[in-house]
Chains A and B, each alone.
Chain A
Amino acid sequence: MSTTDSELPPAPPPESPTDAPLTPGTSMAVRFAAYGRTALFTVLAIVTALLLGALVIIFSDPDALGAWSSFFSDPGEALSTSWQVAFDSYEALFDSSFGEFDAINRTLVEATPLLFGGLSVALAFRAGLFNIGGAGQVMVGASAAAWAGLTLDLPAVIHLPVALLAGFAGGMLWGGIAGFLKARTGAHEVITTIMLNFIALRFLDYLLTTDRFQRPGRNDPLSRPMAESARLPELPGPVPAHLGLLLALAATFGVWWLLERSTIGFRMRAVGTNPDAARTAGMSVGATYVLAMALAGGLAGLAGTSNLLGRPSFSLSGGFYESIGFDAIALALVGRSKPGGVLGAAVLFGALRSGSTGMQAATQTPVDIIVVIQALIILFVAAPRIVEAIWRVRARELTDAPQFTSGWGGS
């Protein structure tokens, strides 16, 4: 028997140095181990999604399928054709998203509104709120910006900031309403934001029938073009994008600073993680909800506004804005609700979008494959156990990352 069954020593020996189980100098390791694992898992999720995506590409390609049908007579051919098909598609995807300045430009322009939207969902989520209302906030924000861009007559140095502020304020209002309803009545933000999305959609439909907004001579809901003085200018250099990109990067930094370095963020994170303890510590949970939803709404408003004012081909219209709101949720999920992560996710998703058309043109791989890959990334990020099983790494210690799946317990 291996148990210690020694007689109790009358006076235990004084503490020996070997007693100390704490290894010094590990605080940094403790601090960064969790981040490292989270990053590793996200990368593995993306890699897994790309590998599975490759299978889908292969099995939707006539040449590769042909080679597989004669697999038993010529297995080498099947494998090499498959490899070639998948490789070519991904190469084309990469070339047309990062391969040249023009491609990078398209990627970044796509990424800009995604970044604002992702930050919006991430910020709310860190305060314990599930912002499904990005769509509505995008529409109301963009409508307010459009109003400023269409009706005011000001010099550019004033007009542009006013239009941006209007976009931010419009989104803030729409998000703030959901926050207020939650704080006051306990109405779950998932329900109220979905309702507010519908109201915003109808509101936008109505606006686009008014003379002030609707493009003259058109019957479909499409706004007049924005005044030049309210447009986001291009940046100097080989990758001009538009000023909105810089604003989105600044917002990324701003949200990070707010969450990690300010008293407001401290309060938001405390409320988001444990509202009971936050209340006991004297934090106003309701006021925090209102503020977080308002700021999240403002960021979503800027997502719509940056497209409206930054891309000449965009005008205020119904359909497009709806989609940013929902992509934003996916982005926040992949970015683990951290501003840096959201930035990475926005570039990734932007690249998938900007590269997809080029890929189809070069290799006949349908653009829809991008949707499949995005969905797979989201699936694997949301279900780390799958990644764990595939790559044989342990996810158990993954506690640091805010997980979306825990966001439904709202009170």
Chain B
Amino acid sequence: MRVEIDGITKRFPGVLAVDDVSVTFEPGEVHALLGENGAGKSTLMNLLFGLHEPDSGVLRIDGRDVHFHGPSDAIAAGIGMVHQHFKLVPVFTVAENVMLGVEETIRGFLDRRAARARVAELSERYGLKVDPGAVVEDLPVGIQQRVEIIKALYRDAQCLILDEATAVLTPPEIEDLLEIVAQLRDDGRAIVFISHKLREVMAAADKITVLRRGRVVGSTTPARSSPGELASMMVGRDIDLTVTKAPATPAGAVLELAGVTVLGEHDKPVVDEVTFDVRAGEILAVAGVSGNGQTELVQAITGLRVPAAGTIALNGTDLTHKSVADRFERGLAHVPEDRQRDGLVGPFPVRDNLVLNLWRRRPFARGVRIDRRAIRENADALIEQFDIRTSSIYAASETLSGGNQQKVIIAREFTKQAKLLVLSQPTRGLDVGSIKYIHTRVVEQRDAGCAVLLVSYELDEVLALADRVAVMCEGRVLGVLEGEELTRDRIGLLMAGTVLPQDAA
């Protein structure tokens, strides 16, 4: 199926999100869309999926004009979309989720068996390895995403849109996904692949279209352009992606963890006697495959979860049982892993989200009265300083593009003169320019004497920033590496749980 977008324009109050864009997705082709945060990629795809209606321009499928008034029209026309945030019913089985909305019935009863058979067949055909009877909430993120893909295929999608599908996946899951994508392409489907990771795009795409500020600024293929050229094309100027940093000059310990243990389900330790320090003026990265206790460790440090054993001290004060607010008072800053759930109040204006955990302090509050002027001035300043792309300080934060939502959180946490900065996946979903910008700011915070704890599943990010690396596997810190030992291989081995004699902690 050939999908043609011809001269589409979409305007939101105060923003021209998509500006006269024309692009064609051919069958049997993986077409990557690249662009900075807020360039209009998701909006363009939402237009194609019937979630928005264009202000002008036409969509054509196999040469015929089509008008979508909702996703159901788009689905009927053979378009499928996998959103970054899955839309699955957690308590349903895979097969039930897949058949939802297109239920096949026999005399009014759901034909579950037929659905299961189809799901099993699709899973078999594309090597998706999904059990139709499994309950969705028990599945890891990577598999849940495949359920979304099966959902689209079940509805016979000939054009499949993957919007930042790899952002939530671990490296092995990403490789599997790219393989699946290649198979779907060989099957004659048109695939639209959106990602900020240039390496993936180079590996997966047959064709690349770059958007900047709502417009198509060029089109190329992986063979014809290097990642550096793509990056400059996205940003509109030459940029250098490497972060320069001087060796750390650490001072005394700011965060001290001693034997911290957090219990998960069935009282199994998910964080198991973790002990390490983060010193002022250094970046300590926690590396590891996602799901090895990093999330729970961060929750214990930031006060969102009470550890079962051990102590957590900040600047020598025991904080193990103190509230989140207390920790903020004592100089904690926190960029949470799941920005939409934990970092922002979506419907709140950008202005308010920029003070979400500062609202009771001066100058933003005077007694119980909120100082709206101080909040407004703060917002104006931070939007300027961090280049947050928003139509206004009053726009609801959830209308910002994914990357700009993250910048709102970064701006808030990086400007409060913290003593300890806890960063969980700070650059997930960000474009290359923003990543470089944020990395530079992290180093800046370090050089200003802040202790930085970075949790990242991206080895590249860990290697780019860390002065020391603590590797976590199954809840335990298997080793803390520094200096010479900081190599991809050493970290990789520890991540897989292999402890070399010299690393034994």
Contacts and interface: CB of A to CB of B under 8 A. Distances in A.
B452 to A, nearest CB: 19
B359 interface: yes
A8 B17 CA distance: 23
B396 A269 contact: no
Nearest to A15: B236
A400 B396 CA distance: 8
Interface in A186-206: none
B328 A282 contact: yes
B11 to A, nearest CB: 9
Contacts of A8: 218-220, 224-225, 229, 233
A276 interface: yes
Interface residues of B, number: 65
B219 A6 contact: yes
Contacts of B22: 2-4
Contacts of B219: 3-6, 8
B395 interface: yes
Contact of A23 (B16, B215, B323, B360): B16
Nearest to A26: B14
Contact of B323 (A10, A26, A282): A282
B357 A282 contact: yes
A31 B394 CA distance: 6
Contacts of B370: 261-263, 266
A21 B214 contact: yes
A30 B304 CA distance: 35
Contacts of B396: 399-400
Contact of B336 (A5, A266, A280): A280
Nearest to A270: B345
Nearest to B221: A8
A73 interface: no
Nearest to B208: A8
A27 to B, nearest CB: 3
A1 B24 contact: yes
A21 B345 contact: no
A157 interface: no
A12 B236 CA distance: 6
B216 to A, nearest CB: 5
Contacts of B356: 270, 277, 281
Interface of B is mostly: mixed
B352 A266 contact: yes
Interface string B63-85: 00000000000000000000000
Residue of A8, A22, A267 most packed against chain B (CB within 10 A): A8
Interface string B408-444: 0000000000000000000000000000000000000
B112 to A, nearest CB: 27
Residue of B6, B220, B391 most packed against chain A (CB within 10 A): B391
A284 interface: yes
A262 B368 contact: yes
B347 A273 contact: yes
B359 A22 contact: no
Nearest to B358: A281
Contacts of B334: 280
Given A9-B218, A262-B369, A284-B325, A30 B237 contact: no
Given A2-B4, A14-B237, A29 B345 contact: no
Contacts of A14: 236-237
Contact of B13 (A33, A267, A278): A33
B14 A280 contact: no
B192 interface: no
A274 B346 contact: yes
Contacts of B213: 19-21
B15 interface: yes
A277 B341 contact: yes
Interface string A76-102: 000000000000000000000000000
B232 A11 contact: yes
Contact of A11 (B7, B19, B238): B238
B14 A22 contact: yes
B336 A270 contact: no
Interface in B344-392: 344-348, 352, 356-357, 359-360, 365, 368-370, 372, 389, 391-392
Interface in A372-403: 399-400
Interface in B137-180: none
A277 B344 contact: yes
Contacts of B392: 26-27, 30-31
B345 A277 contact: yes
B54 interface: no
Contacts of A184: none
A261 B344 contact: no
Interface string B254-274: 000000000000000000000
B460 interface: no
A33 B212 CA distance: 27
A2 B347 contact: no
Nearest to A397: B13
B243 interface: no
A311 to B, nearest CB: 34
A283 B19 CA distance: 41
Contacts of B225: 8
A20 B213 CA distance: 7
14 contacts: A1-B24, A3-B22, A8-B219, A8-B225, A19-B215, A19-B236, A21-B16, A22-B15, A26-B13, A30-B394, A273-B345, A281-B357, A283-B325, A284-B325
Given A3-B4, A22-B15, 14 more contacts: A1-B4, A2-B24, A10-B229, A14-B236, A19-B213, A19-B215, A22-B14, A22-B389, A266-B370, A273-B348, A277-B342, A277-B344, A278-B345, A279-B324
Interface of B: 4, 6-7, 13-17, 19, 22-24, 209, 212-220, 224-225, 229, 232-233, 236-238, 302-304, 323-325, 327-328, 334, 336, 341-348, 352, 356-357, 359-360, 365, 368-370, 372, 389, 391-396
* Pairs A-B, 8 closest by C-beta atoms: A27-B392, A282-B325, A26-B14, A281-B357, A21-B16, A282-B324, A280-B342, A31-B394
Interface of A: 1-15, 19-23, 26-27, 29-31, 33, 261-264, 266-267, 269-270, 273-274, 276-284, 399-400
